A and B are shown apart, each in its own frame.
Chain A
Amino acid sequence: MKPAVPPSTGKPRLTTSAMIASIAGEGQRTKPAPFGHALVELAKSDERVLGMTADLGKYTDLHIFAQALPERHYQMGMAEQLLFGAASGLAAEGFTPFATTYAVFASRRAYDFIHQTIAEEDRNVKIVCALPGLTSGYGPSHQAAEDLALFRAMPNITVIDPCDAHEIEQAVPAIAAHQGPVYMRLLRGQVPLVLDEYGYSFELGRAKLLRDGAEVLFVSSGILTMRALEAAKLLENDRIGAAVLHVPTIKPLDAAAIVDACSRPGRLVIVAENHTVIGGLGEAVAGLLMRESVHPAFRMIGLPDEFLAAGALPTLHDRYGISTEAICARVKEWVG
């Protein structure tokens, strides 16, 4: 049944952001189009690097590349199967295509094409996708809540969930240097800048401890690392020490670093991810810990197993428990 017309509350309601809106909070430091600029830089020193898109250049920051290096850019039309099949063909001819679209279209519409033409054939294609997890208020058509689960289940593909502009800039040359297919989630537009403050550098396959704490360990990826860091700062006021282990490479998992951090006695392990709780980082970490006989108290913060609502992102992040405030509230409940 469709919902009734909402009653007036007298308060202004937040509105759904346009697709081009930034996920950065008010006053947050940002950097524009880190992926587009990093790819241009990379392409200047590597002739093999190409950019391809399926009618989403402007919405994946690939337009920066297309403007700077038009001869290296391929517009494949709104045709994701063609995009990834053709990317496979270009890779087979020795090129390193970066193919962009939205995460929903790569993971759901073109899955078999990526599975067969890129992963199974082991082609050196870098799949870079905007609107990962819950970063669009347009409803399930644009919300890729399950992209990590789908790509984790695909053999032979490396899966990356970067946190911010600093990490995206470093990940672009790193995934190009890696021989083989890669799926990377993308943040576009004015992208938050966070990890530079932590002296962080991206290394493919490595998880890194960004801060330490005695009561709680967040194991997180993507924008939930940003949220975990914000929550950890706020939780200091409640005398809850929270460590943050950032795990940008979802596959292959940095088992040693995760097992090591989760083995420290007395800490509540909370996996936080911008993804459904099914099949993402949470279940990956849980499975790893079970196999390694490491049994800390364990909680998951992630999106529920349901079709998510349309609306303003702050509203939705609050509702589904992945805003900083919602995370703090749950941690206090669990630790208190």
Chain B
Amino acid sequence: MAEAPHDADRAGHAPIGHNVSLARRAWNIRRHAIRMGEVQGQGYIAQALDIADVLAAAYFHAMRYRPDDPEWEGRDRFLLSNGHYAIALYAALIEAGFIPEDELETYGSDESRLPMSGMAAYTPGMEMSGGSLGIGLSIAVGRALGLKRKASDATVYMLFSDGELDEGSVWEAILGAAHHQLDNLIAVVDINNQQADGPSTKVMGFEPLVDKLHAFGWFVTRVDGNDLDAVRDAFDACKAQRGQGRPAMIVADTLMGKGVPFLEAREKNHFIRVEAHEWALALQALDERRPA
């Protein structure tokens, strides 16, 4: 049995401050990510910037956790399937207080707890080893089954990318989650329309995605993944589905490089190159847009 939650476990009480706006959380996540990219001189920064709003809404609106006790039984589980988004999740985990901010200096370095691709054994708050794309939703099904067995009221959140929709295993898990009526599972797919060989919809068409997911028995909501209010509402709508016997998916359309205009405008690519001098420019561009 999960322990009953209490107010102190709410995300809004993360140690960096009370009453910080979601917009500021998202901005902080972007800033941590750019600083990590600067350390390494590389990184999937355009994806980190596109998904920052989703992570801010997940960690500072939807989810329940204890940053000083990452394996607290009552926590909501956040699974990262697309391991190369680790730079974004580390930024969120720093913002949420799981990882000290100065540790971002070690990103991608030898002996770091923050490897380039996210793995369960390395990082507090990292629930799975991603990177072999298409794996996360299967694990999420097992996590959700396990939480139901324990009569836990915790929720499994699982982030994956549109390219992973090409993987047959994702559809096995989409079938399985509906079959097992996993209404304690909320998946988020990042539709930035970019995968290794080009635009995701060109590499392997997956539209109309919402219709497909409806047909598979899921609750689906499609939102502008960079509209914080819409993302927050989408999480609320998914959580409200609990008890309906359906898993939920947020289809989040995002803009790669979001928040840094010159990266938003750059020709889209799976691995957007950032020149050495541009990291400082990216920080500067972000700083000029700091929300309250």
| Interface, chain A (partner B; CB < 8 A) | 74, 76-77, 79, 81-82, 84-95, 97, 112-113, 115-117, 120-122
B132 touches A89 (CB 8 A): no
Partner of B132, one of A82, A92, A116: A116
Q: What's the Cα separation between A95 and B176 when bound, in Å? A: 19
* Contact among A74, A97, A113 with B138 in the assembled complex (CB-CB below 8 Å): A113
Say whether B169 contacts A82, CB under 8 Å: yes
B144: chain A residues within 8 A (beta carbon): 89
User: In the complex, A85→B139 CA distance in Å?
Assistant: 4
Q: When chains A and B are docked, how far (Å) is the Cα of A87 from the Cα of B142?
A: 6
Question: Of B121, B173, B175, which one neighbours A85 at CB under 8 angstroms?
Answer: B173
CB distance from B174 to the nearest CB of A (A): 10
Q: Which 10 A-B pairs have the closest CB atoms?
A: A89-B142, A85-B138, A93-B146, A86-B142, A79-B172, A81-B169, A89-B143, A82-B172, A89-B139, A90-B142
Min CB distance, A10 to chain B, in Å? 49
* Bound CA span A122–B135, Å: 16
Residues of chain A contacted by B141 (CB below 8 angstroms): 82, 85-86, 89
Q: Bound complex: CA of A86 vs CA of B139, how far in Å? A: 5
Instruction: Give bound CA distance, A211 to B140, whole Å.
Output: 49
Say how far A48's CB is from chain B's closest CB, in angstroms: 10
Give A90 to B144 CA distance when docked, in angstroms: 8
Minimal Cβ-Cβ distance residue in A for B168? A81
**Which residues of chain A come closer than 8 Å to B127, judged between CB atoms?**
92
Tell yes or no: B289 within 8 A of A by CB.
no
| Pairwise interchain contact B120-A90, C-beta atoms closer than 8 A | no
A97 to B172, CA, bound (A): 19
Q: Which residues of B contact A74 (CB under 8 A)?
A: 145, 180
B150, A86: Cβ atoms closer than 8 Å = no
B26 at the interface (CB under 8 A from A): no
Q: Interface on B for A, CB 8 Å cutoff?
A: 119-121, 127-129, 131-132, 134-135, 137-147, 149-150, 168-169, 172-173, 175-176, 179-180
Residues from chain B with Cβ under 8 Å of A88 in the complex: 128, 138-139, 142
Cα separation A113 to B139 with both chains bound (whole Å): 10
- Separation of A92 and B144 alpha carbons in the complex (Å): 11
**In contact, B119 and A120 (Cβ under 8 angstroms):** yes
A79 adjacent to B176 (CB under 8 Å): yes
Which residue from chain B places its CB closest to the CB of A79 in the assembled complex? B172
5 more A-B residue pairs beyond the given contacts A79-B176, A116-B135, A117-B138, with a C-beta to C-beta distance below 8 A: A76-B176, A77-B172, A88-B138, A89-B146, A92-B142
Give Cα A283–Cα B144 distance, bound, in whole angstroms: 42
A320 CB to closest chain B CB, in angstroms? 33
Give Cα A285 to B180, complex, Å.
45
Secondary structure at the A interface, as helix, strand, loop or mixed, is helix
Decide: A89 and B169 in contact? CB cutoff 8 A: no
Q: Are A86 and B138 in contact (CB under 8 A)?
A: yes
* Inter-chain contact A86/B175, CB cutoff 8 Å: no
Taking A77-B179, A79-B175, A95-B149 as contacts, is the C-beta distance between A89 and B140 under 8 angstroms? yes
- Verify B129–A117 contact, CB threshold 8 A: yes
Task: Assess A121 versus B120: contact at CB under 8 Å? Given A88-B139, A89-B141.
Answer: yes
Q: How far, in angstroms, from A85 to B176 measured CA to CA in the complex?
A: 11
> In the complex, are the beta carbons of B121 and A86 less than 8 A apart?
no
Measured between beta carbons, the chain B residues less than 8 angstroms from A79 are: 169, 172, 175-176
Contact B129 A93, beta carbon cutoff 8 Å: no
> Which A residues are CB-close (under 8 A) to B134?
81
Nearest residue (CB) in A for B179 is A77
How distant is the Cα of A95 from the Cα of B150 in the complex, in angstroms? 10
Nearest CB on B from A82, distance (A)? 4
A43 → B minimal CB distance (Å): 13
Instruction: List chain B residues, Cβ under 8 A from A116.
Output: 129, 131-132, 135
Name the residue of chain A whose CB is nearest to the CB of B180. A74
Q: Which residue of the partner chain, among A85, A112, A115, A120, contacts B142 with CB atoms under 8 Å?
A: A85
Asked whether A89 and B145 contact (CB < 8 A) given A84-B138, A121-B120, the answer is yes
* Complex: A82 Cα to B176 Cα, angstroms: 8
Residues of A within 8 A of B135 (CB): 85, 112-113, 116-117
A-B contact pairs, 9 of them (CB 8 A): A77-B176, A82-B169, A85-B142, A85-B173, A87-B142, A89-B138, A92-B143, A112-B135, A121-B120
* Pairwise interchain contact B138-A93, C-beta atoms closer than 8 A: no
Among A77, A90, A95, A113, which residue has its beta carbon within 8 angstroms of that of B175? A77
- On whether the beta carbons of A121 and B169 are closer than 8 Å, the reply is no
A81 touching B172, Cβ below 8 Å: yes
- When distances are taken between beta carbons in the complex, the residues of chain B under 8 Å from A113 are 135, 138, 169
Most buried by B among A93, A94, A121: A93
A94 pairs with B142, CB closer than 8 A: no
Separation of A172 and B196 alpha carbons in the complex (Å): 44
Known: A74-B145, A93-B146. A81 touches B129 (CB 8 A): no
For residue A120, which residue of chain B has the nearest CB? B129
Inter-chain contacts of B120 with A (CB < 8 A)? 120-121
Q: How far is the CA of A77 from the CA of B178 in the complex (A)?
A: 12
B25 to chain A, nearest CB (A): 27
Contacts of A93 in B (CB 8 A): 142-143, 146-147, 149-150
A121→B121 contact, CB < 8 A: yes
Residues of B within 8 A of A76 (CB): 176
Nearest residue (CB) in A for B132 is: A116
How long is the Cα–Cα vector from A87 to B132 in the complex, in angstroms? Answer: 17
Q: For the complex, give the distance between the alpha carbons of A120 and B131 in Å.
A: 12
Does the CB pair B176–A86 fall under 8 Å? Answer: yes
Q: Is the CB of A117 within 8 A of B145?
A: no
Q: How far is the CA of A115 from the CA of B215 in the complex (A)?
A: 32
Q: Which residues of A lie under 8 Å from residue B168 when comparing CB positions?
A: 81
